[in-house]
Structure 1
Amino acid sequence: MYTRGAGKTRVVVGVYVDDLIITGANPKEVGAFKEEMRRLFRMSDLGLLSYYLGIEEKQGRNAITLGQATYAKKLLEKAGLASCKSISTPMEVRLRLSTKSTTPTVDATMYRSLVGSLRYLVHTRPDIAFAVGYASRFMETLRQEHLVAVKHLLRYIAGMIDYGLVYPKLSNGVNNLVGYTDSDMGGDVDERRCTAGVLFFLGDMPRVPAIVFVSGGGRRQGEALIVDHFVEFVRRDGELTEGPQLIAVLLVGKAAEKLASHHYEF
């Protein structure tokens, strides 16, 4: 990501291979940058951003919506669940999986591929963050019960295929950043480690997908199983390190405000 200018004249450019996402508070500055790029390189202006790296974007007058419905449908086809019967919860209540399971082994390559794809889907689906993080713990010791939990999650996605993130325009100027966290206090049946979730709100809307941690007791350490789009959180000795946490709050707040206030162009 690159920036030019400051304040209301700032232009932000996201680069992936030969694709650019250009945004800024001032349309004139954005237009001038695009004209400059056309003079220097052969490029096409595709207008407002609508699809990028599997993420669909719908831009309206009052809100921006992000989703991955097409990506989710392809994932269901890969798993052989394109016409499955949907369910209403991403995971069974009080589900406790173990690395010491004695159920039959499963195809490790398929399991890891499905979980990896689900981790990318979390970008616009915070409702599945915990379930995906939980399934990610068993990448080394794969058993039938672990695959059953992943298929349960996929059946939930099949029924909620159009879910995504909505960033409404902040018309009243309320942009207080508030965070919440909770822990299950030793819910891991194998090592008695804790799982904690974190959720941030900017104004009245959630702005950051739930982030799942595994905290170690004593000297043991755990890392984030699900990371948000901007920064990786690390939990050590039961507490979040102060530096990454403060940086994350600033980055997430600024990014969310930009999404709520401006259109992205491709």
Structure 2
Amino acid sequence: MSACYIKRSKALNKPCAWYQRFATFATRVGFKQSNCDFSLFIHHSHSGIAYLLLYVHDILLTASSTALRDSIISSLNAEFAMTDLGKLHYFLGITIKYNNAGLFLQQKTYAMEILQRANLSECNSCTTPADARGKLSDEGSSPMSDPKLYRSLAGALQYLTFTRPDIAFAVQQVCLFVHGPLDSHYNALKRILRYIKGTLDQSLQLTPKTSDTLTACSDADWA
């Protein structure tokens, strides 16, 4: 896949008007809007497949061939004032690195910002993101003194799971109590942060595959 990062001119400042104009144009040149994400547009034809993601003034474009990508960029430039910034290296807190295996996605800087927000930049690390000996409960502990901080950190951790699936379950558990967090819940959240402190370089490797087979794994508790 050939990918690039495009930034448009901010001449049309009203977000709704800009989105409607872009969506109309994208449909006209052969893109179809995703039913799952209205910011994602998909182009599928005999010349290949392309994905275009719109985020405010920024556009991410990837295509199955350089020729298709260049053709789409040419159409965009004819309609809008845009700048092709070349290969994507950083987007919404995610660093993208290219290697022989594919794409390497990392949120190390973002993770460090979360630790700083929680005043845990110098904390001791731990080897697991959650305590497997018990489940979180909505009783048995005092209410947290700063629930706003809890919600902020929990939301930030949710975004971090984009490249850190290893913390997904632990984050999901602490997010169950965002409306009334207790001290025990905050301790569980801090454990996740301590785990992150010791695994800052852990990230997500994306490798291209030719297989169209979907494989699913499940760890179900039937007891």
Q: TM-score range by the shorter chain?
A: 0.7 to 0.9
Structure 2 letter corresponding to 1:94: R
Q: Distance in 1 between matches of 2:217 and 2:151?
A: 30
Corresponding residue for 2:35? none
The 1:10–1:175 alpha-carbon spacing in structure 2 relative to 1, beyond 3 Å, is closer
Q: Distance in 1 between matches of 2:164 and 2:70?
A: 33
Corresponding residue for 1:168? 207
Corresponding residue for 2:153? 114
Corresponding residue for 1:67? 106
Q: Distance in 2 between matches of 1:61 and 1:142?
A: 44
Unpaired runs of 5+ residues, structure 2, are 1-39
Say if 2:130 and 2:170, in contact at 8 Å, map to a contact too: yes
Instruction: Kindly report the root-mean-square deviation, in angstroms, between the aligned alpha carbons of the 2 structures.
Output: 1.8
> SS at 2:196's partner residue?
helix
Q: CA deviation at 1:168?
A: 2.1
Q: CA deviation at 1:8?
A: 4.1
Q: CA deviation at 1:130?
A: 0.6
Q: Distance in 2 between matches of 1:76 and 1:16?
A: 27
Q: CA deviation at 1:113?
A: 0.6
The 1:35–1:104 alpha-carbon spacing in structure 2 relative to 1, beyond 3 Å, is closer
Say if 1:106 and 1:147, in contact at 8 Å, map to a contact too: no
Say if 1:9 and 1:29, in contact at 8 Å, map to a contact too: yes
Unpaired runs of 5+ residues, structure 1, are 187-266
CA distances 1:116-160 after superposition (whole Å, capped 9, x unpaired): 110111111110011001101112232111111100110100111
Structure 2 letter corresponding to 1:151: K
Count of aligned pairs between the two proteins: 184
Match of 2:126 among 66, 87, 109: 87
Match of 1:140 among 174, 179, 196: 179
Q: CA deviation at 1:105?
A: 3.1
Corresponding residue for 2:214? 177
Q: Report matched runs for 1:1-266 at 5 Å.
A: 1-170=40-209, 173-174=210-211, 176-184=213-221
Q: CA deviation at 1:58?
A: 1.0
After superposing the two structures, state which structure 1 stretch, 129-138 or 34-43, moved more: 34-43
Identity of aligned residues (%): 34
Structure 1 letter corresponding to 2:217: Y
Kindly report structure 1 stretches of 4+ aligned residues shifted beyond 6 Å.
none
The 1:48–1:86 alpha-carbon spacing in structure 2 relative to 1, beyond 3 Å, is same
Q: CA deviation at 1:165?
A: 1.2
Alignment TM-score, normalising by the size of structure 2: 0.76
Say if 2:47 and 2:68, in contact at 8 Å, map to a contact too: no
